[in-house]
Chain A
């Protein structure tokens, strides 16, 4: 099978890259093994929350100059990064994903444990706060009865420590009975499926009306809108109060919805999405990739002019760590990981974990490197890239989106 570009990996980066290429008329295929990091999304995209040496960042674009030359943002360059940041809302809107927030400035979000954390743009139904305090005086925090992955006590304690008056309440819905019967079913996605039925949502809203009292705003677990966003606006309208969603522990309803929307957008533009397949058996001719195999296609080769590696890091199986080295799984590319594994970790769980920064080496256009030599038609995008610590710096989504933009633009310019 022949395509213009084959993208390996169907997470945020692979989908964004595929969508951009497909919209520009390139015939693309995405080989996707299944779940991606989107499944444990916070409901927000981060651009750059802090510098590699730990300084908080308010305006991500202003901090780009402080980054090392191997950082993906340095390779893209400030000028292009600025243009990309301005373009990002429009890009996602094209797939029906509405992002909230200022693309040039960081704001804050409330986390599932009640912390205020820097962030950039919010997915539909979430909101970005301007400061690290709650903008309301009185807040009602509601949970679904029996749902253990959302903790109202943590959130209430945190908001109260900053002066907000909080009450907590529990929604009892008999429609949840069926999933509650199975001891492991009370998880965010299953709850979202039940709430997907409008009459159940209406019932929940009715119950909340009785609970709301004189609260200025209501915080809810993000268990609404597995297929379509918009629940927040409906609930706000019905209650006449501000409503804000707070992420739950995984799985992430909003992350899954966003991934499905991107996939639908990619397919609507004519792209081929090979779901549940794993790339393997890459074929090379010198410094040129000539084709790849896949588990499902067996002997049938997948061929293209260019290839994008967007397989993610360890969790997504783009990288695998062995006791003394870290390998890239599809092409055996060069990685930037030191062999001494003591250097991979910080002994504090919450410290900067260097292993998360490891990834494949690339040239300034994100072309991959193998055995010291550049491969001319293989690019990398997203968290498979080395040079940045997406978790510590809070630059995971930004790296995924902007490196995907950059790789797509390089491919388009070379084939213009």
Chain B
């Protein structure tokens, strides 16, 4: 795999900074092309905007009227992800509905734009739409069916990381960039700090890729250049059950809170859009006004939302690259931005891949990997549009489950749904491994062990991203403590794990208190009695 006279363990063909979906996808793409890859991520994988969006498998219809290029990219990637990431994708379809307050004339323009972008858009009778999706607002005056779907971003990122590693990539999470190692105007490598071991290390490669999302702004500054980024906060709400089975969108110019996406056992309404200062992007909080807006607008798509329990609120920051001084950020293209800093700024060996969205991560990765190869002088071709991700290599959940267990239980099928064909690696030999840690999401002891041993899990929040522990209706009430026990045993560090448990509960609470009323507050009162009261944990 050594390509360019690499001799030492700390030398690579390419260093990728950022473990979001773009970085993970780029690492996989480069690794599949035979490059020796290092990926460094200062937190866990999928902690930024990757894990803080709708989880919508865009058909591209949303952008059809305003941005044909993005729309075309979306539909092409949509079709590719259905093939290569089937265990991360749910093919639900989507409706673009017109409400009495919306202009029905927009529909014709919308359908025409979709068709010209290559998106199948079919006008259906509102009555038929209500029959197909009973949760939709019954007062709709129009509906268009498009190939939207949902995608699990955590699973998708994890699968890309797994495959990159299978192809020789070194992935270092909790490893933060301190500085670039530069020689004159050339980036030779990176100096990083491991936040777990406290160790500082140096790595070298002829090319370094900045895939830091909104944090790419600061990464570029460390390299001595500026990317004019536009941090656009988007807030979302997760509801406690799956109200709709078909994605619901408003058939109008994109606006606030006009997409409702079903995913697993829940559904998600979003988003808002507001500019935030860079010093806030590490700690996004959802305000009461945002919650109220999401609820009011969401109930217009599906009236049942008004009386459905909200699980939590969260917000992400879109890594948009600003072209003009648009205060809302809505009119900036969601397009992909690839910057070669050699031609742009005279900095050799350094590129940035940004803009774009979850939906087009693979294409972004392809562009970035192409640019890397060009710099390395190789002509290895991209294969990611054809080779399925680990977990998606065989048929559906039923087949996978039956290959492993004669009579798979519901919880075993849930595991298979999360890990696809990698489920064979989940220990399930005896009753201790099959006993449940998380009853809401049916996560077994074996699955937790698998995640700890093989999926780079360092704490409870990481574990949640790999297994959904604590994502269900109870938001980690008892499973957090059970999983903490398993982590404490695996890492042989009870004190660290007790602190980890506190951080996990605080992280859950951060998403709950903005929607803290009704059953969400009831459940929280219980959790707080258990952990502050019975367990006596303190700040």
Contacts and interface: CB of A to CB of B under 8 A. Distances in A.
Contacts of A344: 513, 516
Interface residues of B, number: 53
Chief secondary structure at chain B's binding surface = helix
B533 A349 contact: no
A181 B433 CA distance: 11
Interface in A37-95: 37, 40-42
Contact of A113 (B292, B486, B501, B506): B501
B280 to A, nearest CB: 15
A180 B432 CA distance: 8
Interface string A136-173: 00000000011011010110111001000000000000
Contacts of A113: 481, 498, 501, 535-537
Contact of A148 (B437, B495, B508): B437
Interface stretch (A10-18, A269-277, A320-328): A320-328
B488 interface: yes
Nearest to A392: B532
Interface stretch (B166-174, B319-327, B358-366, B517-525): B517-525
Interface string A100-123: 000000000001111111000000
Interface string A333-364: 00000000110110111110101100000000
B225 interface: no
Interface in B340-367: none
A183 interface: yes
A219 B485 CA distance: 17
Contacts of A341: 288, 516-517
B538 interface: yes
Contact of A250 (B509, B510, B534): B534
A40 B292 CA distance: 33
Interface in A169-213: 177, 180-181, 183-184, 186
A320 B518 contact: yes
Given A115-B537, A180-B431, A350-B538, A40 B532 contact: no
A114 B495 CA distance: 10
B494 A156 contact: yes
B458 interface: no
B506 to A, nearest CB: 5
Nearest to B539: A350
Contacts of B409: 183
A9 to B, nearest CB: 16
A128 interface: no
A350 B510 contact: no
A151 B431 contact: no
Contact of A350 (B435, B439, B502, B522): B502
Contacts of B505: 349-350
A347 B522 contact: no
A37 B529 CA distance: 9
A123 to B, nearest CB: 13
A297 interface: no
A342 B288 contact: yes
B411 interface: yes
Contacts of A134: none
Q: In the complex, which range does the number of interface residues on chain A fall in?
A: 35 or more
A314 B502 contact: no
Nearest to B437: A148
Contacts, number: 151
Given A115-B535, A350-B538, A183 B518 contact: no
B531 interface: yes
Given A114-B498, A315-B529, A321-B518, A42 B534 contact: yes
B106 interface: no
A247 interface: yes
A164 B516 CA distance: 41
A177 B430 CA distance: 11
A183 B537 contact: no
B478 A249 contact: yes
B537 A350 contact: yes
B95 to A, nearest CB: 28
A396 interface: yes
Given A153-B489, A183-B444, A350-B537, A40 B526 contact: yes
A154 B485 contact: yes
B525 to A, nearest CB: 5
Interface string A290-331: 000000000000000000000001110100111100000000
B186 interface: no
Contact of A186 (B435, B489, B518, B533): B435
A321 B435 CA distance: 35
Contacts of B236: none
A215 interface: no
Contacts of A153: 485, 488-489, 494, 497
A111 B536 contact: yes
Contacts of B439: 184
Contact of B528 (A180, A247, A322, A391): A391
- Of residues B411, B533, B537, B539, which shows the largest number of chain A Cβ atoms within 10 Å of its Cβ? B533
A111 B506 contact: no
Contacts of B435: 146, 148, 180, 183-184, 186
B84 interface: no
B529 A40 contact: yes
A314 B520 CA distance: 10
A112 B534 contact: yes
Given A40-B534, A250-B478, A356 B528 contact: yes
Contacts of B485: 148, 151, 153-154
Contacts of B431: 146, 177, 180-181, 183
Contacts of B268: none
A180 B436 CA distance: 10
B435 to A, nearest CB: 5
Contacts of B516: 321, 341, 344-345, 355
- Of residues A37, A161, A249, A347, which shows the largest number of chain B Cβ atoms within 10 Å of its Cβ? A249
A145 B432 contact: yes
Given A157-B494, A250-B534, A350-B538, A313 B488 contact: no
Contacts of B444: 183
Given A184-B436, A345-B513, A351 B482 contact: no
Interface string B268-309: 000000000000000001001000100000000000000000
A310 B529 CA distance: 18
B484 A151 contact: yes
Contacts of A314: 521-522, 525
Nearest to B538: A350
B493 to A, nearest CB: 8
Contacts of A391: 528-529, 532-533
Interface string B468-489: 0000000000100110111011
Nearest to B295: A323
B526 A183 contact: no
B478 A356 contact: no
Contact of A161 (B445, B495, B517, B533): B495
Nearest to A346: B513
Contacts of B497: 153-154
Nearest first, the 6 A-B pairs at minimum CB distance are A117-B536, A157-B494, A349-B509, A148-B482, A321-B517, A115-B536
Given A42-B534, A314-B521, A350-B505, 8 more contacts: A111-B535, A148-B437, A177-B431, A180-B435, A250-B534, A321-B517, A341-B288, A349-B509
Interface of B: 285, 288, 292, 409, 411, 431-432, 434-437, 439, 444-445, 478, 481-482, 484-486, 488-489, 494-495, 497-498, 501-502, 505-506, 508-510, 513, 516-518, 521-522, 525-526, 528-539
Interface of A: 37, 40-42, 111-117, 145-146, 148-149, 151, 153-154, 156-158, 161, 177, 180-181, 183-184, 186, 247, 249-250, 252, 313-315, 317, 320-323, 341-342, 344-345, 347-351, 353, 355-356, 391, 394, 396
13 contacts: A37-B529, A40-B530, A41-B534, A249-B481, A315-B525, A315-B526, A321-B521, A322-B517, A345-B513, A347-B513, A356-B528, A391-B528, A394-B533
